[in-house]
Structure 1
Amino acid sequence: WFWKKNRIELVQGYVNKVDHENKQLILNDNDPINYDQLIIATGSKPNRFGWPGQDLKGVQGLYSKQELEQLEIDAPDKEACNRAVIVGGGLIGIELAEMLRSRDIPVTFLVRESSFWNGVLPEGESEMINEHIRDHHIDLRLSTNLVEILADEEGRAKAVVTDKGETIACNLVGLTAGVTPNISFLENSGIELGKGVKVNRYLETNIPDIYAIGDCAEQEKAIGNRRTVEAVWYTGRMMGETVAHTICGQRRKYSPGHWFNSAKFLDIEYQTYGWVFSDQNRREFEEHFHWRHDKEMICITMAFNSSDKKFLGINTFGIRMRHEMFDRWLTEGRTIDYVMEHLRDANFDPEFYSQYEKEIVDSYNSAFETNIKPKKKSWKRIFKSA
């Protein structure tokens, strides 16, 4: 009913070829579909790096609906799946681990980095997530790589071998070592490809009337500090809105604004606004202020320019912060001192939740020898940013 209600003709099948000269798609059953304008939004596929055994039964990623359905078959409970091994740390890996642990399935988590997601998160945050993962009885193996997946006599995964020389018995292997644009069907189509489908700032390809959006799109030039390929739901939505205007006759430039994202690490909600780089990727002018609660899994990290104290971004774990406020402060070029002074305006945790702004500001004052007094929350200031 959804498709009919929204006047969408749903065709289930696979596209084998894009014939841009005749403006046709050729499906796997050789049926053609004519188009006036084509939007390529084929997403990503899980990375596979040529590991021996990566195509065995019981080995899968977690991206598509089909992979979710296969997970239901292979790991319905701990009786059917005695142990799962997840390969690759990141947002998809932690989500798969949480799903499996919700069914009491033992999980071993192989992460090549020395600390979880430390290519993205600063050290203090990454270490807190390490602790939280282990608190959930997940066997986290840092600085550990997959070497091989072993098969049983029926061709199913029965164990993995790590670069530490250890063999870990398992019934399921989840490959979550990132994703790559799903564009192989476009080879020899005439559409320019790189890592993804190459597009300009209007999300147009090199072929007239063909656009690409979402995980499969690759910007010809990076926008600010952003990557040329952004496999993030928020950016996919914004790209869709942008192209919708264009095909309706109002050509619009893709302008994603300040970087933001959100996710969840098991019980910990995560939000990021602006740019807070990991220790290994931090720019020379970028200084960090980190605060962590002494008992709870709650912390924040703020980044600012060391020369003029201009606020650059924030990561927050366990405290909900208002996107509109940080977006406005970044646009206005506020200093970190200003952000600290008005921090209560940004908090939108529900009523009766603990508030930590005073502790955060006190810690900042102590670290940087300032004397900032946090202002009371002002709905007038908050609504001004709406």
Structure 2
Amino acid sequence: MEHIVIIGNGISGVTLARHIRKKSNSKITIVSAEHEFFFSRTALMYVFMGHMKLEHTQPYENNFWKKNNIDLKQGLVTAVVPASKEILLENNIRIPYDKLVLATGSKPNKYGWPGQDLQGVTGLYHKQDLEALEKWAPTTKRAVIVGGGLIGIELAEMLRARDIAVTFLVRENSFWSGVLPSGESQMINRHILEHHIDLRLETNLVEILSDDKGHVKAIVTDKGETIDCEIVGLTAGVSPNVDFLKDSGIELGRGVLVNRFLETNSKDIYAIGDCAEQHEGIDQRRPIEAVWYTGRMMGEALAQTLTGTPTQYKPGHWFNSAKFLDIEYQTYGWVWAKAKENETHFYWEHTGGKKAIRISFDKNSREFLGINTFGIRMRHEFFDKVLTEKKTVDYVMHHLAEANFDPEFFTSYNKEIQAQFTSAFNGLKTE
């Protein structure tokens, strides 16, 4: 019987195991150094804030693995040996495989800051991070968060929910300005400040200072300022968790290099999820996609291949969603921080400063290219269809109310948005 070994117990690895089991009786072993049972990383913040319990973050019952005949092994993998088709664990246990899947995810970036390994310094990625925050929070007056992305703002919201003062260091001149165009980025800056978060733009961490017990006592910024704090959250992005593969002969870039079938250069070894890197990005996607739903899709595609139906990974149109404190964000298609040469952006922001829409379209053909929405929920199916059918921006503007989750609530905004578009682009063309 074929033995499929999966390193990693996150969304990619578990989806893969589940879909293989639907189609095959192969022996499946999942090896994980983290939590015994799969849980939703994105729910960690809600556990800390008291909205959920940790067991609620587990999509499957604990007997799911046994019931589906999936063998779970806890342990840290230290090496992969393709020549003998086995993996080595830290306690010298060897596990042979017929097919091996690397689904090891990401690890938070650390940039060699002095003091980055002190007690009180954490990311927000593992269950262990949540446990550390629970331990330190009761005695914390102020936390400093380093890095202005999605995880940073989640951590800020969590700590503010416990009435801990938060200073937020953002390297750029506006929040998430590498991804968001200026209007939306400025809106989120204002929203962060309204939540009594001390936002410091264009500010970098230089050093983390220790007390006499090896715990954080303060940080120093590149502005020469010392800020007292008991927790430092490092949320300056993530990198593929691949250090243990350096001597394996498996081809690495930043992550594990794979083709469209998610195969590595080593026979019978595959990679999926955050640790996988396409030789060239698909469409305009990045070669590494550290996104929950793409990890799931890779797991589904590879399960087909490993059960006899070779299937390329085809993620379709780009979409994503997040929450900036109280403002929900969705994006479909491509809306770049700065419009490309062939693109025009239309931006509408509600006078209340909490709702906005930005639409990107081709200035020559008027083809709709993408949309950002803030505080307004849109239907995925609608935008998936218009992107596939290459509809015009005019078609989208005519049908914007249909695209909204709550058309009745949206009616008043819809007229205002259409009027502004008509005024900006000399009339709304017929479909």
- Following superposition, the deviation at residue 73 of structure 1 comes to 1.0
- Provide structure 2 residue ranges, at least 5 long, that are not aligned to the other structure: 1-62
Query: Are 1:45 and 2:107 an aligned pair?
Result: yes
Match of 2:293 among 223, 226, 234: 234
Aligned counterpart, 1:199: 258
Question: By how many angstroms is 1:6 displaced?
Answer: 2.6
Corresponding residue for 1:312? Answer: 369
Q: How many Å apart are 1:68 and its aligned residue?
A: 1.4
> Paired residue for 1:15?
77
Q: Could you tell me which residue of structure 1 aligns to residue 391 of structure 2?
A: 334
- Is the Cα contact below 8 Å between 2:105 and 2:275 reproduced in 1? yes
Decide which of 145, 158, 165 is 2:217's aligned counterpart: 158
Greater CA drift, 204-213 or 355-364: 355-364
Q: CA deviation at 1:364?
A: 0.6
Find the partner of 2:91 among 18, 22, 29.
Answer: 29
What is the Cα deviation at residue 350 of structure 1?
A: 8.2
1:94 is aligned, of 138, 149, 153, to 153
TM-score (norm 2): 0.83
**1:365 counterpart SS class:** helix
Task: Give 1:346-357 correspondences, 5 Å limit.
Answer: 346-349=403-406, 356-357=413-414
Partner of 1:105: 164
For 1:125-175, what per-residue CA distance to the aligned partner results, in whole angstroms no more than 9, with x for missing partners?
Answer: 000000111111100000100111111111111101001111000000000
Deviates more, 1:55-64 or 1:116-125: 55-64
Match of 2:10 in 1: none
Structure 1 stretch displaced more, 316-325 or 347-356: 347-356
Residue number in structure 2 paired with 1:384: none
Deviation by residue 1:187-226 (Cα, 9 ceiling, x = unmatched): 1011111100000011000011111011100001111211
**Partners in 2 of 1:119 and 1:145 — Cα distance?**
16
CA distance, structure 1, for counterparts of residue 406 and residue 163 of structure 2: 30
Question: What does residue range 205-216 of structure 1 map to in structure 2 within 5 Å?
Answer: 205-216=264-275
SS of residue matched to 2:144: strand
Show the counterpart of 2:282.
223
CA distance in 2, matches of 1:324, 1:248: 30
Q: CA deviation at 1:372?
A: 6.0
Tell me which residue corresponds to 2:230: 171
CA distance in 2, matches of 1:243, 1:16: 24
- More off after superposition, 225-234 vs 106-115: 225-234
Q: Which residue of 1 aligns with 2:120?
A: 58
Instruction: State how far apart, in whole Å, the 1-side matches of 2:143 and 2:411 are.
Output: 37
Q: Identity of paired residues, percent?
A: 65
1:246-283, CA deviations, whole angstroms, 9 ceiling, x for partnerless residues?
A: 1111110111111111111111111100000002xx31
Contact kept, 8 Å, 1:344 with 1:357, in 2: the verdict is yes
Give the direction of change, closer, same or farther, for the CA distance of 1:372–1:304 in structure 2 (3 Å limit). Answer: same
RMSD between superposed Cα atoms in Å: 1.5
- Tell me by how many angstroms 1:72 deviates: 1.1
| Equivalences, count | 369
Q: Deviations over 1:275-303 (max 9, x none)?
A: 00002xx3111110000000140001000
Q: Distance in 1 between matches of 2:378 and 2:412?
A: 12
The offset of 1:21, in angstroms, is 1.7
The residue aligned with 2:333 is 274
Task: Give the Cα–Cα distance (whole angstroms) in 1 for the partners of residues 283 and 409 of structure 2.
Answer: 39
Alignment match, 1:116: 175
Show CA shifts across 1:72-130 (max 9, x none).
Answer: 1111x4xx110000000000101111111111111000000000001000000000000
Secondary structure at 1:287's aligned position in 2? strand
Residue type of the alignment partner of 2:374: F
Which structure 1 residue ranges, 4+ long, deviate > 6 Å from structure 2? none
Which amino acid in 2 is paired with 1:261? N
CA contact (8 A) 2:145 2:168 kept: yes
Gaps of 5+ in 1: 375-386
CA distance in 2, matches of 1:353, 1:265: 21
Does the CA-based 8 Å contact 1:341-1:372 persist in structure 2?
no
Whole-angstrom distance in 1 between the partners of 2:131 and 2:68: 26
- The one-letter code matched in structure 2 to 1:30 is N
Alignment-derived partner of residue 42 in structure 2: none
Q: 1:148 aligns with which of 201, 207, 219?
A: 207
Distance (Å, rounded) in 2 between the aligned partners of 1:158 and 1:326: 49
In structure 2, the residue matched to 1:2 is: 64
Does the C-alpha gap of structure 1 residues 351 and 335 become closer, same or farther in structure 2, counting only changes over 3 Å? closer
- Letter of the 2:175 counterpart: F
Q: What amino acid does structure 1 have at the position aligned with 2:295?
A: G
Distance in 2 (CA, whole Å) between partners of 1:325 and 1:353 is 16
Match of 1:285 among 342, 348, 352: 342
Output the amino acid matched with 2:64: F
Within 2, Cα distance between the matches of 1:116 and 1:201? 34
1:345 equivalent to 2:402? Answer: yes
Cα distance in 1 for partners of 2:294, 2:330 equals: 15
Cα deviation for residue 351 of structure 1 reads: 6.7
Contact 1:361 1:372 in 2 (8 A): no
Amino acid at match of 1:104: D
